[in-house]
Amino acid sequence: MAEDRAQIYLLTPPSFDLETFPATLSRVLEAQEIACIRLALASKDEDAVIRAADAVRQVAHAHDVALVIEDHVALVERLGLDGVHLTDGARSVRAVRKTLGADAIVGAACGATRHEGINAGEAGADYVSFGPVGDTGLGHAERAGSELFSWWSEMIEVPVVAEGALTPELVAELAPVTDFFAIGEEIWSEADPIAALARLVGAMG
């Protein structure tokens, strides 16, 4: 973890074309330094998830970038992935750590709850993510504000990730107090993902 600048944690789109997305992903990885990729698929179809994971793993590992998968713990070792991102906060961190072992990456999404983040860290999470940090227009999720990240960066050693509806303004605000920015739909919804990512990276200062 670089101490002077937040790193990019890239999320895949919730669905993508297996024919075209790997090449696009490869170009993004060549354009910016990416610390980790999260396979964040909406699909619950096992075959579709496995084929997507295989395609992304080949690109990620060719660029020496770690790949974690959202929630599908059973697929981590089976598909040769680097770890898992858990969306249920601290609840299953301890059990998953025991299943996957000390070398796997285990991350936990903790909403905007300081207590949940602390519990996840104590249970063995390698990082916690807080979010959404911006206005998503979906649901009634409480926003994770800059004061949460400021407190965490001062008090807790477990790396923290900021994610959800990021804008250049939010990136600039949070850059001094977060270790990673999880960026996904912010760039994949744009016609030029590489340019969109460059704008967000540029806002880090």
* pLDDT for residue 2: 43
* CA atoms within 13 Å, Cβ hemisphere of 105: 22
Dihedrals phi, psi of 13, to nearest 5 degrees: -65, 160
Asked if pLDDT for residue 6 goes beyond 90, the answer is yes
* pLDDT for residue 89: 95
Tens digits of per-residue pLDDT, 83-93?
999 999 999 99
Asked if pLDDT for residue 1 goes beyond 50, the answer is no
**Any idea what the CATH number is for the domain that residue 74 is in?**
3.20.20.70
* pLDDT for residue 57: 98
User: What pLDDT band is residue 168 in, cutting at 50, 70 and 90?
Assistant: very high
Find all residues with CB under 8 Å of 16, minimum gap 6, and list them. 52, 188
Helix segments in the chain, DSSP class H: 21-31, 46-62, 73-79, 93-100, 114-123, 146-155, 168-174, 185-188, 193-202
Two tokens, residue 74: 């059973």
Tens digits of per-residue pLDDT, 25-74?
999 999 999 999 999 999 999 999 999 999 999 999 999 999 999 999 99
* Residue 182: inside a domain: yes
Task: Identify whether the C-beta of residue 108 lies closer than 8 Å to the C-beta of residue 120.
Answer: yes
Asked if pLDDT for residue 188 goes beyond 50, the answer is yes
The number of folded domains in the chain is: 1
Task: Identify whether the C-beta of residue 35 lies closer than 8 Å to the C-beta of residue 65.
Answer: yes
* Residue 35: inside a domain: yes
* Residue 194: inside a domain: yes
* Residue 1: inside a domain: no
Question: Measured between alpha carbons, how far apart are the two ends of the chain, in Å?
Answer: 17
Return the closest-CA partner of residue 47 out of 19, 85, 77, 18. 18
* Residue 131: inside a domain: yes
DSSP letters spanning 159-171: -EEEESS--HHHH
* Residue 2: inside a domain: no
User: What pLDDT band is residue 4 in, cutting at 50, 70 and 90?
Assistant: confident
pTM across the whole model: 0.95
* pLDDT for residue 138: 63
- Parallel, antiparallel or unpaired: strands 34-39 and 180-183: unpaired
Tens digits of per-residue pLDDT, 113-159?
999 999 999 999 999 999 999 987 666 678 999 999 999 999 999 99
Q: In terms of residue numbers, what domain contains 89?
A: 7-202
